[in-house]
Structure formats: C-alpha cells, structure tokens
Amino acid sequence: MDNYRVINKETYYRKGVYCHFTKDCKCSTSMTARVDVTDLVTQSKETGTRFYLNFLYILSKVLNSRDDYRMGYIWQTDELICYDVIHPTQYVFHDDTETCTPVYTKYSEDYETFYRGALEDLERAKQTREYGLDATNHPNWFDASYIPWVSYDSMNIELPDGYLYYIPIVNWGKYREENGRLTMPVSVRLNHAVADGYLLANVYRLLEKEIAAFCVK
C-alpha cells in the first residue's frame, strides 16, 4: 500500500455531508457525459500511440490532481483517509473466452514512464486467463474499464447498500462522430459521502483541460 494520511473528521471540510451520507443515507453519485476526444484521437494517430492508453494516462492524472478523488476508508478502524496517489486497474478482454483479466498499473505523472509501464502490463496480462483480482493488496487502485463495443448514453454501477467504498469507478465506451467531432461517453461513480455533483462535473472539466494540454505537446 502506498502512503496515506488520516483525515480528521471533525475538521473535514465536508463534515456535515460526510456524516449524513455515511449514517443517514448511504449512497453513490454517478454521471455519464460525452467528452470531445477529437484532438486526442488525432494526436494518438500522429504519434503512433494507443488512444486507449493516452486517455488512461489523462484520466489517472485528473483523478490524482485533487484530494477528493483519492479518498479511502479503513473499516477496521473507521478511518477516513486520503491516499498520496491512486493507480488505475485496467482490463484485458480475451476474445476466445469472452472473459477479462484485471491489470494493475502504476501511475506516474511522467507520460513516457506511465505509457511504457501500462503497455508492458497489458502484454503480460494477455498471456493469462486468470481473473486475478487482488483488491486486498491494491486498496488504492481505481477501476478504469473500457467498453469498446458500444457508444452508450447512460451507465450506472451499483454497490451494496452500506458499503463505504470511496475510490472512483470510471468506465468509458466507443467514441462516435457527432457534428463533425468525435465524442466518447465517460461514466464516473463516486461515493456521495466524499463527492457531490460539483466534484463529479469537475472530473469532466479537468478531462477537457488535460486533453487540450496533452495535445499541444
């Protein structure tokens, strides 16, 4: 486990909201919105890199940019924590078995380091058919799942009632052309105790900002 710090619940800036959504009304908040990826698709083609991995890097950078997206919960001690860094759990789909293998990839703010490591992780995962989920030893890995078969409009991920899971869950689908631009559905699930509509919307705002910055390199 990477380092984390314990959040003082009494001085936590979301104290009232946190109390309500951990005691009175345990629930998640989620959103699906379409993100313009036209420039990122072009950049990926021009550089001969994989669009999927480039988006995964940008997403990981966004979710590591703010404490609210790196929150965690230790149920044994009832502690609210903030991880120093969270990493993506990506997936390899096996066409022959129609199953997937989780891939634990380390996030690095350095693009070249991240891209190389993520690509190597994917290639290794292609050699196995084991599900291999190991959440116990990867508490600060967020779920990043690509659904390439459909350009959907809505998606919702449910977790059991009362399960205080704070790490983000993100899915995205196939991009499609709309009015001459390429847009891609991105779904973000957060626990309502540590996030609200503003923080959800902010993920998309940051994605747009980071995509623009990435494509001018």
The DSSP code sequence of 31-83 is EEEEEE-HHHHHHHHHHT--HHHHHHHHHHHHHTSSGGGGEEEETTTTEEEEE
The pTM for the full model equals 0.95
SS3 24: helix
Encode pLDDT of 166-194 as tens digits. 999 999 999 999 999 999 999 999 999 99
Encode pLDDT of 116-148 as tens digits. 999 999 999 988 878 888 888 899 999 999 999
Catalogue all structural domains in the chain, each as residue range(s) with its CATH number.
Answer: 4-214 (3.30.559.10)
What are 24's two structure tokens?
Answer: 């009175």
